Amino acid sequence: MESTSTNTEEERSHFFIIRVTIGREIQAMERLESQLPRVKGVYAIIKPYSLKGYIIIEAASYESVLELIYNIKHIRGVMKKELTVADALKSMESKKQVINIAVGDTVKVLSGPFKGENATVKSINKEKQEVAVMFLDSAVPISVNIKISDISTVKSGGDNE
């Protein structure tokens, strides 16, 4: 009898992917959380680390998800295909980025207002995943913080960590 109840429990829990405006995932989650008391059958709302522009909702049915997201700002829709439990867990894992940049390296900015500019790395903040750089062709020396994902190493000039 107990095994039947666990099977029923597993059958009731489904994972659905919600498309959200990129950069507005947190606001959408807050709005969804405010609607939880009025909707039955929604168990969890998850913001995956690995997916930008998506939220995962654990719910009893597709209809529960549709009821939850109805008329919520920044929600763009629900993907019809369900997510497996293994894929849902995999998307929640935080992956550490390997930093192959050292102080003194020459880097090229790949995006943002300084795109295409060369700079020298002055300091690295591993927690925030940012580097402080000084631009080589600048008339006035100015230090700017840039995300590590927005630069590439042109020439190694410092001691690698």
- Strands of 12-140, DSSP E: 14-20, 42-46, 54-59, 75-78, 106-109, 118-125, 130-135
Structure tokens at 155: 């020439």
Give CA–CA dist 17/49, Å, rounded. Answer: 14
Contact 147, 156 (CB under 8 A): no
pLDDT number for residue 133 = 93
pLDDT number for residue 158 = 54
Determine the CATH number of domain 106-155. 2.30.30.30
pLDDT number for residue 3 = 36
pLDDT number for residue 140 = 86
Q: Is the pTM of this model over 0.85?
A: no
Residues of the chain predicted below pLDDT 50: 1-10, 159-161
pLDDT number for residue 92 = 65
pLDDT number for residue 101 = 84
Q: Fill in the DSSP letter of residue 53.
A: T
CATH 2.30.30.30 residue ranges of the chain are: 106-155
Each residue's pLDDT tens digit, 46-66: 887 767 888 989 899 899 899
CATH 3.30.70.940 residue ranges of the chain are: 2-92
pLDDT number for residue 48 = 79
pLDDT number for residue 10 = 45
Determine the CATH number of domain 2-92. 3.30.70.940
pLDDT number for residue 51 = 75
